[in-house]
Amino acid sequence: MFPFSVLVGKAVRRISRLRGGGSALPGLVVEKIDPGFMGRALTGLPHGVVVISGTNGKTTTTKMVVELLQGQGLTVFTNRTGSNFTRGVAAALLGEVNWRGRLKADIAVLELDEAHAVHFVKLVPPTHCLLLNVLRDQLDRFGEIDQTTRLLEQIAAKTTGTVVLNREDPRVAGIASTVHDAEITYFGLDASLRSTFPNDDELRGDIGVAPPSSLPADVILEHVDGNTAMFLTDGESTSVDLRLRGVYNIFNAAAALAMARTVLGGAINRAALFASLATVEPAFGRGESLVVDGKPLELVLVKNPSGFRLGLKSFDAAGYATMIAINDNYADGRDMSWLWDVDFDSLGLAGVDMVSGVRAYDMALRLKYDDVDVRAVEPDTTAALKAFISATHDQPKRIFCTYTAMLAVRRDLSKITTVEVVS
């Protein structure tokens, strides 16, 4: 035990907070002076360490798993949105450990980006991992999606207890054959919902969808009607009214249920589990609803073709004014090719009121080729948001944006309405 590093880390954390700095610096400091800090703090938790990774839905799924386990009476340590890398976990830990570096929690549930998760599991082998999907996202960073699958395999290989897999994603389901020591559990979809969730090979509109998987699943999403979802567990169907919006968030709920059931096994309280699920609010930018001029304004984060497609599918354009903001900063991915893998036909009837972001003209050009009417283009997000709100003040609004465009839009919105600040 070397409490000195914890004290230093905590001090750096306090100072960087006072200066309004980012959350990563204290994590960096403690990693440098005490590389074993994270492993010591996280090993020996009574219910272990859960790692959640995959391309889409990590944040929402992690939030759900945390709240489901809290609903079962567990004290849960988690990393906050936007810090899904190892250093972010170390920084978050510094805020929670006592001066001896001990964490007072029953379990840690951590969202980790694929590449950072591989680094993390080498330091701290997880007891459980939940692997959601492998989709085209930031190929300029990871190269190819087959490469991303290799990263997830490494996470599964280090897992000591149970690996929870999406049986509907052939790349993720295939990871099972590479796992030797851990148990495997699946979550999945009823055959009737299969076509709603195209995997990466099925992004092209005209191509058919593969037959449903026949692997046994612990939790199956059976039916979705608006915000009401039906889950099949232990041969029993349960209907839940959710606050989460968007059909892809609801599939993530099946993933979260499977993870919670895996962690607690027979000790789980079924009624409490579904009651907790019903109260989960959407995470940052995953269909959050704000109020502007007395009308709802929804923010939908889009960062890859499948996410954008599902976003368009989940949120009906009818009656809404629409803005789209596309940036190509490092965190968004610089390659614009992905916009051409999304069909925008669903926006054709109502058109798009404003297109913004660094790559506003790439987006406007994309919409032109789908015959979608664009009423205004303004690359500057501040000017665009202002114009969008004043032009559509009497309508409900929806803004689809990439990650850094979302941060910019939220910053501007926080000046006129209540927005949860995420640092």
Partner 1 sequence: MSKGTLNILQLYPREMNIYGDWGNVLVLKQRLAWHGYTANILEHSAGDTFPEDIDLIIGGGGQDSGQLVIQQDLQAIAPKLRELAEDGLPMLVICGLYQLFGNFFKTHDGTVIPGIGILDLETHGTNERLIGNVVADSEEFGEIHGYENHSGQTRLGPGVRPLGTVTKGAGNNSQDGHEGARHLNVVASYLHGSLLPKNPAIADFLLRKAAERKFGAFEPADLDDSLADLARRHAGARPR
Per-residue binding letters, 36-75, with partner 1 (x by CB under 8 A): ----------------------------------------
Beta-bridge mates of residue 398: 298, 322
Taking the C-alpha atoms of residue 282 and residue 67, their distance in angstroms, rounded to an integer, is 12
Per-residue binding letters, 236-275, with partner 1 (x by CB under 8 A): ----------------------------------------
Taking the C-alpha atoms of residue 175 and residue 165, their distance in angstroms, rounded to an integer, is 8
Query: CB of residue 188 vs partner 1: minimum separation in angstroms?
Result: 23
Alpha-carbon torsion angle 58, 247, 276, 255, nearest 10: -50
* Nearest residue (CB) to partner 1, 79 versus 327: 327
Q: Structure tokens of 203?
A: 């992004």
- Contacting partner 1 (CB under 8 A), which of 136, 303, 309, 410? 136
* Nearest residue (CB) to partner 1, 280 versus 355: 355
Distances in Å between the Cα of 86 and the Cα atoms of 3, 143, 148, 177 are 20, 21, 18, 27
Query: CB of residue 336 vs partner 1: minimum separation in angstroms?
Result: 5
At residue 61's C-alpha, the angle toward residues 318 and 109, to 5°, is 160
* Nearest residue (CB) to partner 1, 190 versus 362: 362
User: Which residue type, as a one-letter code, is found at position 209?
Assistant: V
Binding status of residue 2 toward partner 1 by CB under 8 A: no
* Nearest residue (CB) to partner 1, 99 versus 330: 330
Query: CB of residue 302 vs partner 1: minimum separation in angstroms?
Result: 15
Q: Are strands 228-233 and 236-241 parallel, antiparallel or unpaired?
A: antiparallel
* Nearest residue (CB) to partner 1, 123 versus 139: 139
Q: Residue 367: which of 359, 384, 355 has the closest Cα?
A: 355
Beta-bridge mates of residue 162: 128, 183
Query: CB of residue 355 vs partner 1: minimum separation in angstroms?
Result: 10
* Nearest residue (CB) to partner 1, 20 versus 208: 208
Cβ atoms of 354 and 376 closer than 8 Å: yes
* Nearest residue (CB) to partner 1, 127 versus 199: 199
Q: According to CB under 8 A, which residues from 347 to 386 bind partner 1?
A: 358-362, 364-366, 368-370, 377, 379
At residue 391's C-alpha, the angle toward residues 385 and 393, to 5°, is 90
Q: Kindly report the length of the chain.
A: 423
Q: Structure tokens of 104?
A: 């007072």
Three-state SS at 419: coil
Beta-bridge mates of residue 184: 163
* Nearest residue (CB) to partner 1, 4 versus 361: 361
Radius of gyration of the chain measured on its C-alpha atoms: 21
Per-residue binding letters, 303-332, with partner 1 (x by CB under 8 A): -------------------------x----
Beta-bridge mates of residue 254: none
* Nearest residue (CB) to partner 1, 129 versus 352: 352
Q: According to CB under 8 A, which residues from 181 to 220 bind partner 1?
A: 201, 203-204, 206-207
Query: CB of residue 166 vs partner 1: minimum separation in angstroms?
Result: 19
Q: Structure tokens of 186?
A: 């699946």
- Contacting partner 1 (CB under 8 A), which of 14, 104, 122, 334? 334
The binding site for partner 1 (CB under 8 A) comprises 136, 139-140, 143-146, 201, 203-204, 206-207, 328, 334-341, 358-362, 364-366, 368-370, 377, 379
